[in-house]
Amino acid sequence: MNHPQIAVFARLAKENTPPIRAIEGEKTKISRTMHGFGYDAVHDEIVVTSPLTQAILTFRGAANGEEPPVRVIQGPRTQIIGTAYSGNAIVTVDGVNGEIYLPVSNNSILVFDRTADGDVPPKRVLNDAGGSVAIDPVRNLLIINRRTELQIFERTASGNAKPIRIIKGPNAGVANISSFQTYPDKGWIIGGCADGAICAWSVTDSGDVPPRWKIPVQQLTGYVASGIALDPVHKEILLSAAGQRIRPPSGIMNTVITFSWPEIF
């Protein structure tokens, strides 16, 4: 049985290429069923949930082997509740503003200071806002992918605040995905859309508007992406795909797919 780990591969790795390093082992506190993690490029840190222990773990970007996290947010004051199947499986880090965002099982978004450690309360809570999160730090926006819509909030929204815009409808074609991204340099939201595709909308879009760009991932590969990472330097998009709910023709599960997508950069 595979044990939980964060594996690091060379950018040009292909089929059956082994990782160049991996964070794994008891001292890391990593648990199974983490469905999305974040990388803080500003501070070179990896942030991941530990759903089975209801914690947020932060590692050095260069962590390797059985290296413990540099910080652990965990305890009753954190309000972290749920398991990977009812929240608490995905996390987002905003290195520019120094914040960590965690959706939990009561449809709330918990916001912690990036340097929080131990049993600390969240600095903000956004209610009735369950879903994966992405941040546009340039425009101070918080975007939530809630099933078939993208809800756009002020970044510092809390309590019962309402979105300032919502992208949804048959033309928009928004689909749920475990983790999505923004590209603040151009004002894009990059997320899942209908028929297993990955699409780009503008952060200024509202209502039932079609995406500006689209890659028909399932049509081209047989896979449906579960997570997204952007590589602006090489003008590429990287997609994780488990291949469980929709098995690709090859039958191979757990893959990373890379597309060149210069148009969005």
Q: What percent of the chain has pLDDT over 90?
A: 66
Neighbours of 35 (CB within 10 A): 19
Q: pTM of the predicted model, to two decimals?
A: 0.91
Q: How many helices (H) and strands (E) does the chain have?
A: 1, 21
Higher local confidence (pLDDT), 2 or 25 = 25
Which of helix, strand or coil describes residue 177? coil
Mean pLDDT of 65-80: 94
Amino acid (1-letter code) at residue 106: N
Residue 265: pLDDT above 50?
yes
Mean pLDDT of 106-125: 95
The pLDDT score that the predictor gives to residue 243 is 58
DSSP state letters, 184-228: TTTTEEEEEEGGGEEEEEETT--BS---SEEE-HHHHHS---SEE
Residue with tokens 């819509």: 149
Q: Hey, do 1-9+19-130 and 136-265 end up sharing a CATH topology, with the first three levels equal?
A: yes
Higher local confidence (pLDDT), 5 or 102 = 102
Which structure tokens are listed for 19? 């990782």
Domain boundaries, the chain: 1-9+19-130, 136-265
Q: Which fold has domain 136-265?
A: Methylamine Dehydrogenase; Chain H (2.130.10)
Mean pLDDT of 163-172: 97
174 near 168, Cβ under 8 Å?
A: yes
pLDDT digits (tens, 9 = 90+) for 78-107: 999 876 666 677 899 999 999 999 999 888
The pLDDT score that the predictor gives to residue 1 is 40
Ramachandran class of 92: left when φ > 0, alpha when ψ lies in -120 to 50, beta otherwise: beta
Which range in 17-31, 77-91, 156-170, 221-235 is most confidently predicted, on average pLDDT?
156-170
- The single-letter DSSP state of residue 27 is G
Report the mean per-residue pLDDT for the chain.
Answer: 90
Mean pLDDT of 226-242: 92
Architecture of domain 1-9+19-130: 7 Propeller (2.130)
Higher local confidence (pLDDT), 177 or 89 = 177
pLDDT digits (tens, 9 = 90+) for 33-51: 667 788 999 999 999 998 8
